Amino acid sequence: MSVEAPGEATIEDATGGVRSYSVRTFGCQMNVHDSERIAGLLEDAGYVAAVDGDDADLVVFNTCAVRENADNKLYGNLSHLAPVKADRPGMQIAVGGCLAQKDKDTVRKRAPWVDVVFGTHNIGSLPVLLERARHNDEAQVEILDSLERFPSTLPARRDSAYSGWVSVSVGCNNTCTFCIVPSLRGKEVDRRPGDVLAEVQALVDQGVLEVTLLGQNVNAYGQSFADPETPRNRGAFADLLRACGTIEGLERVRFTSPHPAEFTDDVIAAMAETPNICPQLHMPLQSGSDRVLRAMRRSYRRTKFLGILDRVREAMPHAAITTDIIVGFPGETEEDFAETLDVVEKARFSSAFTFQYSPRPGTPAATMPDQVPPEVVTERYQRLIALQERICLEGNTALVGTEAELLVVADEGRKSSSTGRMTGRARDGRLVHFRADSRSQVEPGGIRPGDLVTAVITDAAPHHLIADAGVLTHRRTRAGDAHEAGTLPTTPPVGVGLGMPSIGAQPVPESTSACGTGGCS
């Protein structure tokens, strides 16, 4: 490593060239956002992104521990890289994220060629651990039991020119019996509202049009502020949504995921009354059986869940509501599963993330009696999929003939050489494959990811819509300019750690410090 001024160091490979990196991400949106932080750290340390991931001098796996196949996928990838690493002196492999936090010793036993193992609480240590492993020619394993600072206090290299993730909190205070996340991410700690808004503003200043607020339970935001000078506020999340509505240039705001037990009417009102909050809500059901919900320690029941959906649709009739459902939780009977199907029929979800239950070591559900036989789980799963596919198609078909505003996206859908279709995401989150014909109102230079178009829906499928009648309007955006130029946003560290001032901490810009009356500062 060459020694230069801070922020200007370069990491050299075995031939004296700049070392390249590739980050491979498994799991949820939180992991995707953490990978942006990992990329930002590595680039600050002098690495450059690899064009081809397999040819990278450093491969980082950011892992998930929620489902069993995540383990298999990781170790399959590590086995693939073992001979590659053997043939490339100086190549390094690092494993981080939730699986590393849970199984730090197992990773090294099953893949002794891994150079660094780090956890969810010490992402910022990665560059130092890599250099120590290289200098000492010895693997480095460092897992911390608690978070030292918010990931937002780390630099980030963003994945998209037009859409960005912003964490409002880390960790979770719930005790769902099937979930291992609280033991890996820790108790919930909330960022100061001014810090969240400053990060949103930093993205918008670089042309980003759409922001998604992230948290394991976003609507619990405001009850666990790390900063002792920020008062506890049950209405803080609704205040935060309204404050996002005051940021000029921010056209779309989404959030994920809330918890039904703590979802309140002030959040519904803020969504309905704030123009840039998208009419989309992800509301995890998990099961439609009250008996199973109790066994899961989900502190709501089916009646409350359906009541939330009714109030959301009363305030926003065209809102798209998505969900998570687990099939085959221990002790689930045919009657329990029938109740889930009944809720799904009543709820009319626009889409559902459905999972066949698999035991995760370290969770209470893994040792519960009456584990459902795999063949029964699979059969129920297929019935649920068939029902939800029908509901999705019916919901999408009802939109044929309506007009939609689309944020043009890259790599999320398909562009057919025969039809010339591109893909956009509607304000309610649905994917729309659209075509611009000779009559379309397209600005000179063509349509780019990051631009905004409007089109009429002409056909429907369960998981997407079609708009083949041409584009009605096209607006070129700064995000489209950035995508065309190959420029991605990079955000500097935002905030002051876990609420405690640090030397050299940057003040929050005044223009982003207000958040209604909810104690934002």
Binding site residue list? 28, 64, 98, 172, 176, 179
The answer to whether the CB of 26 falls within 8 A of the CB of 74 is yes
Helix, strand, coil content of the chain in percent (nearest 5): 35, 20, 45
Question: What are the tokens at 292?
Answer: 């199973």
Beta strands in 193-341 (DSSP E): 210-214, 252-256, 280-282, 320-327
Pairwise CA distance, residues 406 & 424, whole Å = 5
Nearest residue to 284 via CA among 332, 328, 322: 322
Pairwise CA distance, residues 431 & 407, whole Å = 10
Q: Which residues contact 203 (CB under 8 A, 6 or more apart)?
A: 158, 164, 166, 211, 489, 491
Q: CB-side exposure of 472: number of CA atoms within 13 Å?
A: 10
| Cα–Cα distance list, 125 to 27, 37, 65, 199, 502 (Å) | 21, 12, 21, 22, 17
Binding residues for [4Fe-4S] cluster: 28, 64, 98, 172, 176, 179
Question: What are the tokens at 270?
Answer: 């803020």
Pairwise CA distance, residues 185 & 107, whole Å = 18
Read off the DSSP letter of residue 437. -
Pairwise CA distance, residues 351 & 354, whole Å = 9
| Single-letter code of the amino acid located at 223 | Q
Question: What are the tokens at 423?
Answer: 């893909």
Read off the DSSP letter of residue 406. E
* Residue 118 dihedral angles phi and psi, to the nearest 5°: -135, 160
324: exposed, middle or buried (Cβ count in 10 Å: 0-12, 13-18, 19+): middle
Q: What is the DSSP string of 38-87?
A: HHHHHHHTT-EE-SSGGG-SEEEEEE--SSHHHHHHHHHHHHHHHHHHHT
The answer to whether the CB of 143 falls within 8 A of the CB of 184 is no
Pairwise CA distance, residues 93 & 306, whole Å = 47
